[in-house]
């Protein structure tokens, strides 16, 4: 039951009721701090506020792990109900010496849990353990541990619900490594707006749009086939614009094959609707930076044109960011109805040579994640992680032939990718329109 390291016989300071004695002590302490302000300044600083957070599950899109580190006591993280174990983790941005952890539980508390620390987010050492928790506030002082990642690992719920924390505060001495400064969240989906509206109970893209907007990311990615069936400008205005159009100014789209079917001309409606948003550099492909990441938006309808591949090579040669993500419509690998599409292989070879980390695609209407692999489909440590995320609203496709290195597949449940990026890595959740997390990825480090 225990991770690496020996258990420490520590007991948290609990706050359950406020009596005369407690009040007197607080007054005394306050007086001492006023008389000797240097003593307050000498306390170890809070080092977890606003840091990138992940969790084993979320009860809903508004109850994500970042809520436990935002400094707002009105927000909270909540895990899926009725399941053990569950965990909540924070990346402190650099190796730090942790001396204190304060937990503010919601009504759904942990009866038993561990506080653990890790250098790499994979191998954990126990700092403290609770076996008879009863909620409220647990203040673990006099801890001693070094690492970059800290997590609360719940092993037994105190109620029939899940685990829920308003705040987790980690105090200590930051290390000498540069802290994470560029953490951000992105929502991604492909194959989005069918020719239906919210008045139709079977219409899915209004629900994925509502979910995407609730997550409120830094920006949105679309992986093509934004509008069905022929992507005319009239259809964009009648369907896509009524839902995903609510955050068009924060969207970075790419076209799919359905955008080429427009009777007015290939990509005519797509270009008329998105305008400069889809053509920021005057082409159907473009790139941009966010934090320590370089994003490349590509048009897989024209992968056979040398102009795009030449541009891609030049763009990568100029890149100064440590992490690289690319996205387009047609996936090189897929277990869905369309299957593998070799048109993407030359692009994969270029990206793999540049040590790219992540590729996002649509086209097949299901969710799928692959283990890191090279352009030839061999699982390798320095490979590219591919995600198929074509569940934005178009009719789902079944899984037909499971491909090598496919780790998870979900068909029939609409949703979006909630992507969490840091200066040195990434992870994601696939969130369904019911607000439930359907899949949680491993935590990856950039090449």
Nearest to 421 by CA among 404, 443, 405, 440: 443
In a domain, 353, yes or no: yes
Residue 308, domain member (yes or no): yes
- Contact (CB, 8 A) for 379 and 372: yes
Contact 290, 421 (CB under 8 A): yes
The pLDDT tens digits of the residues spanning 231-275 come to 999 999 999 999 999 999 999 999 999 999 999 999 999 999 999
Nearest to 314 by CA among 354, 274, 265, 263: 354
Tell me, yes or no, whether 236 and 121 share the same domain. Answer: no
d(CA 25, CA 32): 11
Is residue 92 in some structural domain?
Answer: yes
pLDDT at 178: 52
Helix (H, G, I), strand (E, B) or coil at 201: coil
Q: Which of 174, 204, 224 is the last residue of a domain?
A: 174
Q: Which regions of the chain are under pLDDT 50?
A: 1-9, 15-30, 32-41
Range of the domain at 211: 184-445
Q: Does 17 map to a domain?
A: no
Instruction: Annotate 101-126 with DSSP letters as a single string.
Output: EEEEE-SS-EEEEEEEEESSSSS-EE
Q: Which of 344, 334, 397 is nearest to 370 (CA)?
A: 334
Residues 152 and 193 grouped into a single domain: no
Query: In total, how many domains does the chain have?
Result: 2
Beta bridge partners of 193: 227
How many Cα atoms within 13 Å fall on the side-chain side of residue 324?
23
For residues 234 and 269, state if they share a domain. Answer: yes
Is there a cis peptide before residue 85, judged by omega within 30 degrees of 0?
yes
My answer on whether 220 and 83 are in the same domain is no
Task: Supply the DSSP symbol for 136.
Answer: S
At residue 52, the pLDDT reads 83
pLDDT in tens, 106-126: 999 999 999 999 988 878 999
Q: What are phi and psi of 190, to 5 degrees?
A: -130, 170
The span from the CA of 74 to the CA of 373, in Å, is 42
- E strand or H helix at 310, and its extent? helix 306-318
- Residue 172 has a pLDDT of 96
Do 305 and 401 sit in the same domain of this protein?
Answer: yes
Task: Quickly tell me which residue has 């008879």 as its tokens.
Answer: 132
End of a domain among 152, 174, 196? 174
Phi, psi for residue 97 in degrees, rounded to 5: -100, 115
CATH code of 297's domain: 3.60.21.10
**Are 168 and 221 contained in the same domain?**
no
pLDDT for the residue 329: 98
Sheet containing 293-297: which strands, arranged edge to edge? 286-290, 293-297, 323-327, 358-361, 385-389, 367-370, 406-410
Exposed, middle or buried by CB within 10 Å (0-12, 13-18, 19+), for 185? middle
Burial degree of 268 (CB within 10 A; 0-12, 13-18, 19+): middle
pLDDT recorded at residue 53: 86
pTM: 0.63
Residues 295/321, Cβ–Cβ less than 8 Å: no
In a domain, 37, yes or no: no
Q: Which residues contact 410 (CB under 8 A, 6 or more apart)?
A: 366, 367, 368, 391, 430, 438, 439
Q: In whole angstroms, what separates CA 235 from the centre of its chain? A: 31
Tell me: do 239 and 335 sit in the same domain.
yes
At 5 the pLDDT is 38
Tell whether 169 and 208 lie within a shared domain: no
Q: Which residues pair with 389 in a beta bridge?
A: 367
Assess if residue 29 is contained within a domain: no
Q: Cβ(124)–Cβ(4) under 8 Å?
A: yes
| 126 and 266 together in one domain | no
Q: What is the CATH number for 117?
A: 2.60.120.260
Q: Which of 60, 89, 290 is nearest to 185 (CA)?
A: 290
DSSP H stretches of helix in 239-284? 268-274
pLDDT at 51: 87
Q: Quick one: 222 and 166 in the same domain?
A: no
How many helical (H) and strand (E) elements, i.e. helices and strands, does the chain have? Answer: 7, 23
d(CA 49, CA 250): 26
The DSSP call for residue 242 is G
Is 32 part of any domain?
no
Cβ neighbours, 10 Å, residue 22: 12
Q: Please check whether residue 239 lies inside any domain of the structure.
A: yes
- Give me the pLDDT at residue 407, please: 96
Residues 197 and 74 in one domain: no
Tokens for 233, please give them. Answer: 């400008």
- Residue 14's pLDDT is 60
Q: Do 189 and 65 share a structural domain?
A: no
Task: State the CB neighbour count (10 A cutoff) for residue 341.
Answer: 18
* Domain end (from 145, 174, 203): 174
């Amino acid at each position: 039951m225990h991770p690496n390291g020996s258990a420490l016989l520590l007991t948290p300071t609990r706050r359950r009721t406020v009596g005369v004695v407690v009040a007197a002590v607080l007054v005394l302490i306050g007086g001492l701090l006023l008389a000797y302000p240097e003593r307050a300044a000498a306390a170890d600083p809070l080092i977890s506020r606003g840091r990138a957070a992940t969790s084993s599950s979320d009860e809903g899109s508004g109850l994500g792990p970042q809520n436990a580190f935002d400094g707002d006591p009105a927000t909270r993280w909540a895990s899926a109900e009725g399941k053990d174990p569950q965990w909540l983790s924070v990346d402190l941005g650099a190796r730090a010496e942790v001396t204190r952890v304060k937990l503010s539980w919601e009504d759904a508390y942990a009866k038993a849990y561990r506080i653990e620390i890790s250098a790499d987010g994979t191998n954990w050492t126990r700092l403290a353990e609770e076996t008879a928790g009863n909620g409220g506030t647990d203040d673990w002082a006099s801890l001693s541990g070094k690492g970059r990642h800290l997590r609360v690992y719940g092993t037994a719920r105190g109620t029939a619900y899940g685990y829920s924390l308003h705040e987790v505060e980690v105090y200590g001495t930051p290390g000498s490594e540069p802290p994470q400064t560029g953490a951000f969240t992105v929502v991604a989906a492909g194959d989005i707006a069918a020719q239906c509206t919210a008045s139709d109970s079977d219409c899915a893209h209004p629900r994925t749009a509502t979910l995407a907007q609730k997550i409120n990311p830094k920006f949105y990615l679309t992986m093509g086939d934004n509008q069905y069936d022929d992507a005319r400008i009239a259809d964009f205005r009648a369907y896509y614009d009524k839902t995903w159009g609510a955050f068009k100014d924060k969207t970075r789209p790419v076209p799919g094959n359905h955008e080429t079917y427009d009777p007015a001309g290939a990509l005519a409606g797509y270009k008329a609707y998105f305008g400069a948003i889809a053509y920021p550099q005057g082409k159907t492909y473009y790139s941009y930076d966010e934090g320590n990441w370089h994003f490349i938006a590509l048009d897989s309808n024209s992968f056979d044109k040398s102009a795009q591949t030449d541009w891609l090579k030049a763009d990568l040669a100029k890149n100064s960011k440590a992490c690289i993500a690319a996205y387009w419509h047609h996936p090189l690998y897929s277990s869905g109805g369309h299957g593998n599409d070799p048109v993407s292989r030359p692009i994969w070879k270029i990206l793999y040579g540049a040590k790219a980390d992540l590729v996002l695609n649509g086209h097949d209407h299901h969710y799928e994640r692959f283990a890191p692999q090279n352009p030839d489909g061999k699982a390798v440590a320095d490979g590219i992680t591919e995600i198929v995320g074509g569940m934005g609203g178009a009719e789902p496709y079944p899984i037909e032939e499971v491909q090598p290195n496919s780790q998870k597949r979900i068909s029939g449940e609409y949703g979006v990718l909630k992507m969490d990026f840091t200066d040195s890595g990434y992870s994601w959740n696939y969130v369904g329109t019911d607000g439930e997390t359907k899949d949680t990825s491993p935590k990856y480090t950039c090449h």
